[in-house]
Amino acid sequence: MRFSKPLAAAAAAIAVVTVLALVTTGCGSAKVPTSAQSASAAAAVASAAPGVVASAMAPQPTASATAWTEPTAADITRALSAGGFPVSHVIVYTSSTDPNGLLGRPGGYASKTAWVDRRAVAYDARTSGLSYAMTLGTDLKADPGGIDNGGGVEVYPTAQGAEKRCAYLSAFQGGPVGDGYDWTAGCAVLRLSNYLTPQQAKAYQRAFEIAATSD
C-alpha cells in the first residue's frame, strides 16, 4: 500500500517516537523520556505532517446526551399517582383491549390509560342514592375504563394529533356521553370525569402538564 508523502512522513516520525519510548522503558519499570527527548519527538511529528497532527490533536466530538422521549400514558398516570392524586384501578390498554379501537392504528393514539378517582365515584353515589361500593362495582362492571369513574390519558404520535382529539372530545362536553374536562399538553390528552369539581380538575391539569412535558 502506498501512502502520500505527508502521511509517510508522519508515520516515520511517529515510528521515531515509538522507538524512543521503547528504548527508555524497561521491563520492570518505566523511565520517563527527558523533556528534550519529548520535545524533539513532538517537533519531528509536527514538522513531518502538520495537517495530520492538527487533525489528530483537534477536540473530538462527544456523544450527545440521550434525546428526551415522549412519556407514555402509563408514565403520566404513574406521575399523577406519585403526586398524591387518588388514582386507582388503573387500566393500561393494549391494541387488543382498547375499547375505541384506536390504539396503534393510523390516526389513533400510541398509548392509553384509564383510572378511578374515588371522589368522582363518591359524587356519583351521592347523586344516585346508592352506596359507594355498589356504585363502584356497578361502574366497573358496566364500563371498566369509563371516564366518568375518574379519568384517563391518551398519548399521540404528534401534538397535532392530540389537539385534534381534544377538539373532537370537547364537542361532547356536557352531554350524556361526553367528558367533564379535556386538556392537551405536548402529545398527550387528559380526560377527566364531570363528577370532579373544577378545582379538582385544575389540580389534575397542572400536574398533567408537568408530567407530559418534562423529562
| Per-residue confidence in pLDDT tens, the chain, 215 aa | 554 444 444 444 444 334 334 334 443 444 444 544 444 544 544 454 454 444 444 555 444 455 668 899 999 999 999 999 999 999 999 999 999 999 999 999 999 999 999 999 999 999 999 999 999 999 889 988 999 999 999 999 999 999 999 999 988 876 666 678 999 999 999 999 999 999 999 999 999 999 999 86
Residue with cell 377538539: 167
pTM check: above 0.85: no
pLDDT number for residue 46: 46
Q: Checking phi first, is residue 101 left (phi over 0); if not, alpha (psi -120 to 50) or beta?
A: left
What amino acid is encoded at 144 in this protein?
P
- Residue 114's DSSP bridge partners are 91, 152
pLDDT number for residue 24: 41
Length of the chain: 215
Distance of CA 155 to the CA centre of its chain: 12
| Phi, psi (deg, nearest 5) at residue 30 | -100, 135
By the 8 A CB rule, do 73 and 188 touch? yes
